[in-house]
Structures are given as structure tokens and as C-alpha cells.
Amino acid sequence: MSDFTSNFWSVYVAGITLVSILACGLLLWFSGQAKAMTANDNTTGHVWDGDLREMNNPLPRWWVWLFVITIVFALAYLVMYPGLGAFGGKLGWTQADQYKAEVEKGEREVAPLYAKFSAMKPEDVSRDPQAQGIGERLFMNNCSQCHGSDARGAKGIPNLTDGDWLHGGTPEKITETLTLGRIGNMPPMAAAVGTADDVKNVANYVLSLSNSPHDSVRANLGKEKFVACAACHGMDGKGNQALAAPNLTDNIWLHGFGENAIIAMVNNGKVNQMPAQADRLNASQIQVLAAYVWGLSNNAKTK
């Protein structure tokens, strides 16, 4: 790991910076000392367009002093702020501290607004236009990368608008999910089910639970083998939110539909992770975001 934590590049950049500032100073000094060969009329002998002659006048004083001020400012900046390798500058300024201060300032400014939402029921927050606007922006910035801008998810990523919840769809459960994150784990079950033919029979039985197209003969044979799956999904296949075991009877397929997709799940299992948001959002933001997510699948029913 030492190759990735070396301070070579910071020292390299600091060196280039100092050399560049020194070179600017030397250039200014040499330009003031060098004397070009001139004629008696103080021209260099270069003529353009017949009568346009190059003079050998010194640089304007204001230009020279502006150049000097620029060099002094650059050196003073490197003394006061980070820029020379591991040297942090006399002012102790860091990007991290500035970011933290700006975030804290923003939180202080919106604290009264979030206090209003905290005093409301989650159901009421989900219908408040101002809270909806904030919740939508929080969702777009933190959740849409996986669940999509329309919150309808994708293969392997839950649809948040259909009312089908792995861990529970109450505002409290959604808040818990956002705060702590979730890890869903379906272990490979092929060995527990039996032979490859048994796995295929179970797949058809699972399809039959939601009245999906299936082979009824295989489904009848697979019913007995389904007992290996019932510990999580229940004998009726309706799932168990305490274990995040999906409901197999509602015709909603998170990881793909059809016999082959179910066989792959039984054979290989699946691990899904929803990252915790507590380190990115404060409790007030999570409360508003949870109400917004709850409203995606509940407010439409009441309209």
C-alpha cells in the first residue's frame, strides 16, 4: 500500500510551483537588465509596413510592479494556505473544514422548516407541497442512481411505487431502512431442494403460486420440495418481512421472471445491499425523504 500513500506527487507539484514562481522573478530581472542593440534613434532596426519601427523602451513601471505584486502574492498564498506538500499553511484552512462549515450553515438556515415537518405526521408530510419538493430533491440526489428518477427501480432494485415491500412499507420501517441500510441474502438452495429436476419442479411450483404460466405436472411435484424454501417464504409463499423474504404470490419479480430466472436464484442465491444513508443525511432529512418515499405508493391510492 505504500505505493498509493507516497507524498511524491505533492512534493513534485510543490517543487514545480516554486520553480515557476522563481522563473517568473528571474525573467523579470533579466528583462530589466538586458540591453538590445539599438540605433541612435533608440530603435532596434526592425521595420514593418514601411514606417512601423520597433523601439527599445523599458517596460512601464505599473506593469513591472504588477508583476512583482503577483509574485509576492503567490509566495504569501503558499505561506498562508496549503500548497507546499504536507505544509498546511499558517491559517490552518482546509477544504474539509470549509465544506463542514457551509453544511452546518445550511442546516441552521433550514432547521425551522424541518422542525415544522418533525411536528407533523409522516402521512401529512408526504402530502405537504413544500416537503414533497424537498423530498423529491433528496431522492434525486441520493436514491435515483439506483431506483431511477421515477422510483420504479430495475432488475434487482425494488420498485418503490408498487406497494410491495421486502422489509415493510410503513413510514417507520422506511426510515429504519434509510438510516441503517439493508442486506438481503438468499442462500443457494439447490442442495436442500434436491436434484436439478427437483429444482425445476420447485421453480414451476413457485410460478403456480402467482398463477403465472407454468407446467402443472412439475408444479405438483415441486410442492413437496418447496418445504426447503418455506422456512423463509412460508408454506403459503407469502414471504416474511422480518427476514426480507419476498412474497412469491403477487407476481412481482425483483430478480427476473420465468422458470430460468427462478432456477438461477435457487441454484446461485443472491445478495443485495441497500447502503445506509445516516452518514450522508441527518435525521430530519431522512424523515422527509421517508415520507416522500412512503407517499410514492400510498398517496396515489387516496387521490
Is it the case that residue 1 has pLDDT exceeding 50? Answer: no
Residue type, 127: R
Residues 6+ apart with CB under 8 A from 58: 32
| Widest pairwise Cα distance in the chain | 113
Question: Up-side HSE of residue 194: CA atoms within 13 Å toward CB?
Answer: 15
Give the model's pLDDT for residue 55.
Answer: 77
For residue 100, is pLDDT > 60?
Answer: yes
Better-scored residue on pLDDT, 55 or 62: 62
The three cell numbers of residue 87 are: 505544509
- Report pLDDT for 47: 79
pLDDT in tens, 136-164: 999 999 999 999 999 999 999 999 999 89
The arithmetic mean of pLDDT across residues 175-201, rounded, is 95
Which class for 186: exposed (0-12), middle (13-18), buried (19 or more C-beta within 10 A)? buried
Residue-wise pLDDT tens digits, 3-33: 556 778 888 888 999 999 999 999 888 887 7
Question: Cell 446461485 belongs to which residue?
Answer: 268
Q: What pLDDT does residue 3 have?
A: 57
Q: Phi and psi dihedrals of 207, rounded to 5?
A: -65, -35
Domains delineated in the chain: 2-80 (no CATH), 119-181+275-302 (1.10.760.10), 185-274 (1.10.760.10)
pLDDT bucket at 36, cuts 50 / 70 / 90: low
Mean model confidence pLDDT for the chain: 90
C-alpha 75/C-alpha 263 separation (Å) is 68
| pLDDT of 120 above 70 | yes
Q: How far is CA 268 from the centre of its chain?
A: 29
Q: Number of C-alpha atoms within 13 angstroms, CB side, residue 286?
A: 18
Cβ neighbors of 59 (< 8 A, separation 6 or more) are 31, 32
> pLDDT tens across 246-303, in order?
999 999 999 999 999 999 999 999 999 999 999 999 999 999 999 999 999 997 655 4
CA dihedral 162, 168, 171, 174 (to 10 degrees): -90
- Band the pLDDT of 45: cuts 50, 70, 90: confident
Q: What is the predicted pLDDT for the residue at 38? A: 65
* Angle, helices 259-268/196-209, rounded to nearest 10 degrees: 120
Q: How far apart are CA 196 and CA 118, in angstroms?
A: 54
